């Protein structure tokens, strides 16, 4: 068996948008497809969703459905359109402008954020193109900034701009985001990732939209700046999961402190029992090369040691030359790394309900009786989540649900292997189906031992945990 606790998310793009490639990615271990709305439009997004639905409608035995995560663009600041790239040398002086005129000086760079001038002061740092080009602000007037080039390079149209340490006065959900969110809800995406989350209030706005549309989509909060980091505990409590979005986070905060920041976020998700995703540059070198660097392998392993529910590929699978190989490497690294226990952040889990205590107890019981796994029978996925919060070591959580939406949501819940079952109300019939599924999974004629947790078979949640032999 090649069970891994850690889930794999793949961003779909030109390299992976064919249905045959999506099937291969899924077979190799991809659990979730990410649609990046910074690059996708509704037509291309719908094409991906349709292909995923087609794959899910005819799954091979033992494979769980592919879930879909729609990732919003968020309140991004970008350079304007240029007729040709501008070459900048270190030490040059250049003007950044927010003027609407098209015919600005050839040495000027248009920025689409009207609040730029008021947001920065002489001495402030501005970074472009994910930190590759950097400016220091020398002076400013009504609608321009005079800047010195710290790190030069070629700058083109619509390059991403960061203002480290500056609170950007932009809406948490832009008009584009709103259209994309409604599109995602209409087409039943499983997760919506909100970019540049700064506070729990940002998530409340998205939650209201989802609830008003009676959607089952789960909310992933992307932490990408200092303000989001400062409010991480409140954000965790308000979200269903958190993404450590290391691209912008490494620019908006101290790059040297990024490993510590990642651990702080992972600690918070473990404390509050929320799903966690580590993203960006996991296998960046494999966009061009067939094998990863040693540092990349170690980086991935560290995310797994920290208890990440999922690890996410971006350019590696969207535009990279070796998308299938990337997933294979992630899977193989996870298989090796998960032989060691996590760093133990889950020991600080806020067990604020009896049911969460039962989830922890189920894990402890399974470990003590040396069970082959934990069985969860669930409608909403809640029980599966609380058991996963305990980070079972080398212990699969086999989830059985009669809800297709729950089945997809479990694609981001660490340690789970999910099955769809038409009905879960008849105890004996359900146990019979579970037994057949697990015997097939283990391909074993020897007796198997499991701990089962479920409140479905008893209104009072009595006898919620039991040891069963199959």
In whole angstroms, what is the distance from residue 202 CA to residue 174 CA? 11
Q: Helix (H, G, I), strand (E, B), or coil: what is residue 299?
A: helix
CA angle 377, 362, 341 (to 5 degrees): 115
State the catalytic residue, choosing from 72, 280, 342, 406: 280
Whole-angstrom distance, CA of residue 241 vs CA of residue 309: 9
Q: What angle do CA 464, 408, 342 make, to 5 degrees?
A: 65
7, 23, 34, 110: the catalytic one is: 34
Q: Which of the following is catalytic: 110, 198, 222, 246? A: 222
Instruction: Please report the beta strands in 19-115, taking only residues with DSSP state E, as ranges in sequence order.
Output: 32-36, 67-71, 77-78, 86-88, 93-97, 108-110
Nearest to 371 by CA among 387, 394, 399: 394
Spatial neighbors of 144 by CB under 8 A, at least 6 apart, are 95, 96, 97, 98, 99, 108, 117
Q: Which of these, 228, 38, 249, 36, lies nearest to 127 by C-alpha position? A: 249
What tokens appear for 439 in the block? Answer: 């015997």
- The string of DSSP letters for 119-173 reads H--TT-EEEETTTTEEEEEEEE-SSEEEEEEEE-EEE-TT-EEE-TT----S-SS
Which residues lie closer than 8 Å to 6 by C-beta, 6 or more apart?
304, 308, 309, 310, 311, 334, 338, 414
Does residue 78 have an active-site annotation?
Answer: yes
The helix (H) or strand (E) run that includes residue 441 is helix 427-442
In this structure, what DSSP letter does residue 216 have?
-
- Residue 222 is among the residues annotated as catalytic for this protein: yes
Specify the residue for token string 């509050």.
272
Q: Specify whether the CB–CB gap between 453 and 376 falls below 8 A.
A: yes
9: Cβ contacts below 8 Å, ≥ 6 apart: 30, 31, 32, 33, 34, 69, 277, 279, 310, 311, 312, 313, 412
Active-site annotation holds for 347? no
Identify whether the C-beta of residue 326 lies closer than 8 Å to the C-beta of residue 296: no
Two structure tokens written together for 366: 């399974």
Q: Which residues are catalytic?
A: 34, 78, 222, 280
């Amino acid at each position: 068996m090649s069970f891994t606790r850690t889930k794999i998310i793949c961003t779909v793009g030109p390299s992976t948008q064919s249905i045959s490639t999506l099937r291969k990615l899924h077979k190799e271990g991809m659990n979730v497809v990410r649609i990046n709305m910074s690059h996708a439009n509704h037509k291309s997004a719908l094409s991906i969703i349709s292909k995923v639905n087609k794959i899910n409608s005819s799954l091979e035995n033992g494979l769980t459905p592919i879930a879909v995560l729609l990732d919003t663009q968020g309140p991004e600041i970008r350079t304007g359109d240029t007729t040709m790239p501008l070459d900048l040398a270190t030490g040059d002086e250049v003007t950044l402008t927010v003027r609407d005129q098209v015919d600005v000086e050839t040495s000027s760079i248009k920025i689409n954020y009207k609040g730029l001038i008021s947001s920065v002061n002489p001495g402030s740092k501005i970074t472009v193109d994910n930190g590759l080009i950097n400016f220091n602000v020398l002076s400013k007037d009504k609608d321009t900034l005079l800047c010195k080039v710290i790190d030069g390079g070629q700058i083109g149209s619509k390059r991403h701009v960061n203002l480290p340490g500056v609170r950007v006065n932009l809406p948490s959900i832009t008009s584009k985001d709103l259209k994309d969110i409604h599109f995602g809800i209409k087409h039943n995406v499983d997760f919506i990732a909100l970019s540049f989350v700064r506070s729990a209030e940002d998530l409340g706005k998205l939650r209201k939209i989802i609830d008003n549309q009676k959607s089952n989509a789960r909310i992933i909060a992307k932490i990408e700046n200092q303000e989001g980091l400062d409010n991480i505990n409140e954000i965790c409590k308000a979200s269903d999961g958190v993404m450590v979005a290391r691209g912008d986070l490494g620019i908006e905060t101290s790059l040297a402190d990024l490993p510590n920041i990642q651990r702080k976020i992972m600690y918070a998700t473990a404390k509050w029992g929320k799903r966690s995703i580590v993203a960006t540059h996991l296998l960046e070198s494999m966009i061009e090369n067939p094998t990863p660097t040693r540092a990349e392998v170690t980086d991935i392993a560290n995310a797994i040691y920290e208890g990440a529910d999922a690890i996410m590929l971006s350019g590696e699978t969207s535009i990279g030359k070796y998308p299938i190989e990337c997933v294979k490497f992630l899977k193989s690294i996870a298989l090796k790394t998960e032989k060691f226990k996590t760093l133990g952040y889950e020991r600080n889990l806020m067990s604020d309900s009896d049911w969460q205590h039962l989830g922890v107890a189920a894990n402890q019981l399974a470990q003590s009786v040396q069970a082959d796994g934990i069985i969860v029978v669930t409608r909403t996925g809640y029980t599966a989540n609380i058991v996963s919060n305990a980070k079972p070591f080398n212990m699969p959580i086999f989830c059985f649900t009669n809800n297709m939406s729950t089945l997809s949501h479990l694609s981001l819940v660490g340690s789970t292997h999910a099955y769809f079952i038409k009905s879960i109300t008849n105890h004996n019939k359900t146990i019979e189906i579970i037994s057949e599924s697990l015997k097939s999974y283990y391909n074993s004629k020897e007796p198997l031992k499991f701990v089962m947790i479920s409140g479905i078979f008893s209104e009072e949640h009595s006898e919620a945990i039991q040891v069963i032999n199959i």
